[in-house]
């Protein structure tokens, strides 16, 4: 029986959506620290933006899809109650204090930090993932975008279509695999774009910049 779809109205009425998101971040990636939780938040946000598998543009709806986020498996199987799930997450005090404000941003649909996953809609731990669950990595449109801690991130790109977004993600992926630039005095976006053979706009997208100013 699929129980996740009933979570929002369980027990004493509607459960706070932000608690569901924060709990997901802590129990999915709290062991990876703040960067791990931030990365998972961006995956959820990216899925919502793309209406991943027509599951909705609401981050909570994306989270509550069965068998997408393994921390919900025991709850979904009926071997764990929501109160126990929440207690486990809140028990990780430092992680919870970071995850809750991030969950508020995620619920609002606007994460203040740049997308460190470079547009990922999937992630997995190569050491613990069930091989049967990694079918998406065999898809001809799958592109690995980033490795953060123990997790590998990626997304599906329609390679037959030529759009600015897809070109930017492909370029970002190529640069991410080989290049880290430490900004020094005299550097400019236009100069760096020329050096790395990309456009200024792509450089800004890769680094989550909203202005033309860069700092040492």
Cα torsion 14, 25, 72, 61 to 10°: value is 50
Residue 52 has pLDDT above 60, yes or no: yes
Average pLDDT, integer, range 144-164: 79
Host H or E run for residue 152: strand 151-156
Cα distances from 32 to residues 37, 127, 150, 201, in angstroms, run 7, 14, 8, 31
Residue 11 exposed, middle or buried by CB count within 10 Å (0-12, 13-18, 19+):
exposed
Report how far residue 10's alpha carbon sits from residue 76's, in angstroms, rounded to the nearest whole number.
13
Report how far residue 75's alpha carbon sits from residue 11's, in angstroms, rounded to the nearest whole number.
14
The pLDDT, as a whole number, for residue 47 is: 94
Residue 160 has pLDDT above 70, yes or no: no
The pLDDT, as a whole number, for residue 162 is: 46
Report how far residue 153's alpha carbon sits from residue 143's, in angstroms, rounded to the nearest whole number.
9
The pLDDT, as a whole number, for residue 13 is: 43
């Amino acid at each position: 029986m699929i129980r996740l779809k009933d979570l929002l109205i369980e027990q004493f009425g509607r459960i706070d959506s932000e608690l569901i998101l924060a709990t997901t971040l802590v129990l999915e990636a709290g062991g990876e620290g703040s960067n791990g939780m931030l990365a998972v938040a961006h995956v959820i946000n990216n899925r919502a933006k793309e209406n991943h598998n027509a599951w909705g543009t609401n981050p909570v709806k994306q989270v509550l899809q069965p068998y997408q986020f393994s921390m919900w498996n025991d709850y979904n199987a009926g071997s764990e109650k929501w109160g126990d799930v929440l207690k486990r997450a809140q028990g990780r005090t430092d992680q919870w204090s970071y995850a809750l404000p991030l969950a508020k941003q995620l619920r609002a649909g606007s994460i203040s930090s740049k997308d460190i996953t470079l547009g990922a809609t999937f992630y997995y731990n190569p050491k613990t993932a069930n091989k049967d669950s990694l079918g998406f990595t065999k898809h001809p449109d799958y592109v690995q975008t980033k490795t953060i801690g123990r997790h590998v991130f990626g997304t599906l790109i329609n390679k037959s279509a030529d759009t600015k977004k897809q070109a930017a993600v492909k370029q970002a992926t190529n640069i991410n695999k080989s290049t880290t630039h430490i900004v020094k005095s005299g550097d400019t976006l236009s100069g760096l774009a020329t050096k790395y053979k990309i456009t200024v706009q792509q450089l800004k997208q890769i680094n989550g910049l909203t202005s033309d100013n860069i700092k040492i």
